[in-house]
Amino acid sequence: MEDHISSVTAEPTAHARSGRSANGGRAARVAARAAPLPDNMRPVRAGMPGGQYKPLTDVGIAQIHAAALDALETIGLSQAPASGVELMTKAGAILGDDGRLRFPRALVEDMVNIAARDITLFGRDEKYDLHLTGTNVHFGTAGAAVHIVDPITHDYRESTAQDLYDAARLTQNLDNVHFFQRAMVCRDVLDNYDMDINTLYACLSGTKKHVGTSFSDPSHVVGCFELLHHVAGGEAKWRERPFVSNSNCFVVPPMKFAEESCITMEACIRAGMPMLLLSAGQAGATAPAPIALAIVQAMAEVLAGVVYANAITPGAPCIFGTWPFVSDLRTGAMSGGSAEQALLTAGCAQMHRFYNLPGGAAAGISDSKLPDMQAGWETAITNVLAGLSGLNMVYESVGMHASLLGFCLESLVLGDDVLGQVMRCVRGIDVTPDSTSIEAMKAVCLGGPGHYLGSDQTLALMQTEYIYPNVGNRMSPKEWVEAGRPQLLDRAIARKNEILAKAGSQIEPEIDALIRAKFNIHFQ
């Protein structure tokens, strides 16, 4: 809207000029636009409620729930570790002669009832706290990309610890990316323990927003928590405000526990870490091809995780992480940017609300290899449906290419603009006595200037009602030519470089020195 106003008023008519106050016009609009707003007045912000979009009917929700309970009771899950078998059978699960754990309906329902609700995922700064209640929506990163995408050379190279640190620093400075979960693998760190340490520390060094990480082996948990306690200022302070969650693939679809991940989950829950209970089947491959049945399997697997987690610690803070993905059935390849993916994610969000549990799923993934038009539409469509469905935690929402194989720092910057527009859709239309009053129309139409360009109402709302892109271009063709025909990618690169040139570590120097003396840190 602002650029449209600017182009309209570049050569104002005398009549238009006469309708402006002495302090009105373009200068006033520019000044108003530049003035910072308090967080509670911004047009979009973390945790705005969604829930407007509902692809599942009430009957469909009931059918999916019933089928998930049937699957848990009759099929069950195999390959639980001995510790998990002991925990879950003590709670009421049944170990069959075939080695599969089956879950009676009453057990599942009881564990859902005692599961934590309305949880908060803490940031190291409380202004970044994420309140997971109702349909509050939050967008962030995730994934395990093994490549960095260079949008200039079109090369894919192996991702490094420095790349992860840079992505975290960018996220710290992007308003619409609300949390930072490990988005890529530190391929330059060859030792697995060092890789887990560097993954965790690169995230924490780059941002004070909530961080998500994972562990490649249960034996690495102790060392990582030692690092966390250093950053927090001691174990007690960590337990008071745990600012890192564990992204835990505790199941291997279809319907099998992942033994080492389960042992890691047990250790992390006991150490006070929030848990993302993650099931990531792929429809047509490791999950059924029907979209509804893929959701059924995801629900069944994560409900088993709810039983498991609450058998460890009743009321442990957990995110119901149903992440069913889509296959291109022509090839079997993953298709993260499809309309079917958007529907799967939105359907899962509805099921989270049915269980009244904090939930997370994936959106924003592009199958495109580069930040191009395909990446734009795939990121936008899947994210907007996720947001409108009221998904609490939208993972992998920015930066991901090649169906999760590549991460692009420039796409992270571009994605911030996308998420701003998505959150504006989530916010919806404010219908109030003031916003529907015709007094402003009277002032303009009955003897007024005949337009709303300089009105007090327009100036008052231009920051609080409307959101503007940081790198997106709204110039007229004439203005664009006069500006040297700036390209979107060039603007993204410039903003990325500007942020990284100024963004330092978010760890106090003395703590950073202590950690670097104790651990083998691979980034600067």
Residue 36 has pLDDT above 90, yes or no: no
Tell me how far apart the alpha carbons of residues 115 and 127 are, in angstroms, rounded to a whole number.
Answer: 26
Residue 509 has pLDDT above 90, yes or no: yes
Q: What pLDDT band is residue 42 in, cutting at 50, 70 and 90?
A: confident
How much is the pLDDT for 39? 77
Tell me how far apart the alpha carbons of residues 140 and 94 are, in angstroms, rounded to a whole number.
Answer: 38
Tell me how far apart the alpha carbons of residues 207 and 507 are, in angstroms, rounded to a whole number.
Answer: 9
How much is the pLDDT for 281? 97
Residue 248 belongs to what H/E stretch?
A: strand 244-248
Tell me how far apart the alpha carbons of residues 349 and 360 are, in angstroms, rounded to a whole number.
Answer: 7
CB atoms within 10 A of CB 472: 15
Phi/psi for 443 (5° steps) reads -65, -35
How much is the pLDDT for 456? 87
How much is the pLDDT for 26? 60
Instruction: State the SS3 of 167-189.
Output: HHHHHHCCCCCCEEECCECCCCC
Q: Spell out where 200-243 has E strands.
A: 210-213
pLDDT in tens, 338-373: 999 999 999 999 999 999 999 999 999 999 999 999
- The class that CATH gives domain 71-427 is alpha beta
Domain ranges of the chain: 71-427
Residue 111 belongs to what H/E stretch?
A: helix 105-114
Q: In 335-463, where does DSSP find H-type helix?
A: 339-355, 373-388, 409-427, 439-445, 456-461
How much is the pLDDT for 144? 95
Mean pLDDT for 271-300 is 97
pLDDT in tens, 219-269: 999 999 999 999 999 999 999 999 999 999 999 999 999 999 999 999 999
**What predicted TM-score, i.e. pTM, was given to this entire model?**
0.92
Residue 33 has pLDDT above 80, yes or no: no
Residue 29 has pLDDT above 70, yes or no: no
Q: In 428-508, where does DSSP find H-type helix?
A: 439-445, 456-461, 477-482, 488-502
Mean pLDDT for 307-331 is 96
Residue whose entry in the numeric block shows the structure tokens 């911030």: 416
Phi/psi for 311 (5° steps) reads -75, -30
* Residues 52, 53, 59, 63, Cα dihedral to 10°: -120
How much is the pLDDT for 28? 59
Residue 442 has pLDDT above 60, yes or no: yes
Burial 419-450 (b: 16+ CB within 10 A, else e): bbbbbbbbbeeeeeeeeeeeebeeebeeeebe
Residue 21 has pLDDT above 50, yes or no: no
Residue 236 belongs to what H/E stretch?
A: helix 235-240
pLDDT in tens, 154-210: 999 999 999 999 999 999 999 999 999 999 999 999 999 999 999 999 999 999 999
Best CA proximity match to 400, nearest among 422, 417, 381, 378: 378
How much is the pLDDT for 30? 59
Residue 452 has pLDDT above 70, yes or no: yes
